[in-house]
Amino acid sequence: MTPLQLQPTDSRASGVSPAAQLRQAAISLGIGYAASVVAYSALRPLLGARDGWIELADDLEPWGYLPAPLLGLAGAALGSRGLSGAGAVLAAAFGLRWGFRYLRRPPEPAQVDSDLTVMTFNTLAWERSSHDIAAVIRAAQPHMVGLQEIGGHGADQLCETLRDEYPYTYITPSPDSSGAAVFSKYRLRDTVAFRASEMGHWWQRMIVDTPRGPITYINLHTKIPHIHTVRLFGRLPIPARFHAERRRREVRWLCAMLARTDGPVIVGGDFNMTERSQDYAMLSKALHDAYRSAGVGLGHTFPKRGVYPRTFPAPWPTLRLDYVWHSDHFEAAWAYRGDAGESDHHPVVTGLRWSDTIGLAGDATVPLAASAV
């Protein structure tokens, strides 16, 4: 009886060196990665709004294209046209989605006409001084600025420092991160502070009497989404669920309030959402995102480079969470991401023009204020 002959399976017997196997594995991995990202981009709209982990994947989608140059270089180094092509396709997919924003010229606010300059800034200053905030505001020179996470001590310092430039203020202090404040060159009236949800941050709503007429201005800070964890063996935390229900309820509340508000509206704040979220899509049906209309690049505002916040430990700006929104009464002339100072957020500064198609603010219905809250 002839003994069973086993075929050798090691690389030497098969004629394929370990280096060649590693090369092929790297090529396959790179092509597979590029194909997965492009497929996600193409097929994701078919799924519609989805809750859970897919929301977080949507938020981080632009970073999925980051390896495109590396794939191209790796393909050239390994002599693989397939891998180089995968890198090119990945780069082209990013260009089709967001490339037009990088073709815009960086704004020169001093050289571009605008009627109203608006700034929003999450200050991270409920337990510290506000000297850096005053410098950031003065550098931007907005007509009005909405601040979030501002404490009583910092707000009092700003009032003293900016008294001449911003004589009109509305401050809602808080011992935690829920404080808010508005500093304005124009008179503020019908001011009201409220919470959009239980244990939510303070929101502020007011009428700003600009030279062209009254504007409803809302300064807000929505609740951050959460990752729920479970303890494995009683100690090891394992991510179990991502949810944004608290933020979604507040954005719905805001949309309902906007539906009851007449006349020109500007809303600024830390929304704790990206423009790929379903909450952004909901709000964009009522207002326009100034940075998306006129800003250069993706405009990520959080976190500041070199800061590793506990809620999102990233080494550079990764998410755009801060926005200035406006009604049809305005058009965005320019928008940019400002200096963060000592905060973990960058501010957003935008120049708005009155829209000729809407008419002057004085011709519109006088905005509602506290009655619409």
pLDDT for 366 equals 41
Residue 258 has pLDDT above 80, yes or no: yes
Task: Fold for 109-372, please state it.
Answer: Deoxyribonuclease I; Chain A (3.60.10)
Among 87-91, 302-306, 313-317, 346-350, where is mean pLDDT lowest? 313-317
pLDDT for 10 equals 55
Give the tens place of pLDDT for each residue, 162-201.
999 999 999 999 989 999 999 999 999 999 999 999 889 9
What residues contact 77, with CB distance under 8 A and at least 6 apart? none
What residues contact 372, with CB distance under 8 A and at least 6 apart? 205, 257, 260, 261
Tell me the C-alpha distance between 344 and 303, whole Å. 5
When pLDDT is cut at 50, 70 and 90, the band that residue 16 belongs to is: confident
Tell me the C-alpha distance between 273 and 307, whole Å. 19
Please give the backbone phi and psi of residue 96, each rounded to the nearest 5 degrees, phi first. Answer: -70, -30
β-pairing, 116-125 with 144-150? parallel
Residue 107 has pLDDT above 90, yes or no: no
Please give the backbone phi and psi of residue 130, each rounded to the nearest 5 degrees, phi first. Answer: -125, 25
User: What average pLDDT does range 220-236 have in this prediction?
Assistant: 82
Among 45-49, 75-79, 131-135, 367-371, where is mean pLDDT lowest? 367-371
Q: In 52-169, which residue ranges form alpha helices assigned H by DSSP?
A: 53-59, 68-78, 81-102, 131-140, 152-161
**Average pLDDT score over the chain:** 89
Q: What is the pTM of this model?
A: 0.89
Tell me the C-alpha distance between 352 and 364, whole Å. 18
Residue 253 has pLDDT above 70, yes or no: yes
Domain boundaries, the chain: 17-102, 109-372
Give the tens place of pLDDT for each residue, 300-340.
999 998 887 777 778 889 999 999 999 999 999 999 999 99
pLDDT for 215 equals 97
pLDDT for 358 equals 60
Among 105-109, 145-149, 190-194, 319-323, where is mean pLDDT lowest? 105-109
Residue 53 has pLDDT above 70, yes or no: yes
Q: Is 111 helix (H, G, I), strand (E, B) or coil?
A: helix
Tell me the C-alpha distance between 11 and 126, whole Å. 63
pLDDT for 312 equals 75
Tell me the C-alpha distance between 54 and 244, whole Å. 11
Higher pLDDT pick, 310 / 349: 349
Among 100-109, 200-209, 232-241, 266-275, where is mean pLDDT lowest? 232-241
Tell me the C-alpha distance between 9 and 17, whole Å. 12
pLDDT for 5 equals 55
In this structure, which amino acid lies at residue 60? Answer: L
Count, residues in the chain:
373
Question: Mind giving me the DSSP string for 213-252?
Answer: EEEEEEEEEPPPPEEEEEEETTTEEEEEEEE-HHHHHHHH
Look at residues 138, 61, 71, 192 and name the one whose alpha carbon lies nearest to residue 349.
138
pLDDT for 362 equals 43
Higher pLDDT pick, 362 / 54: 54
Tell me the C-alpha distance between 37 and 93, whole Å. 9
Higher pLDDT pick, 13 / 79: 79
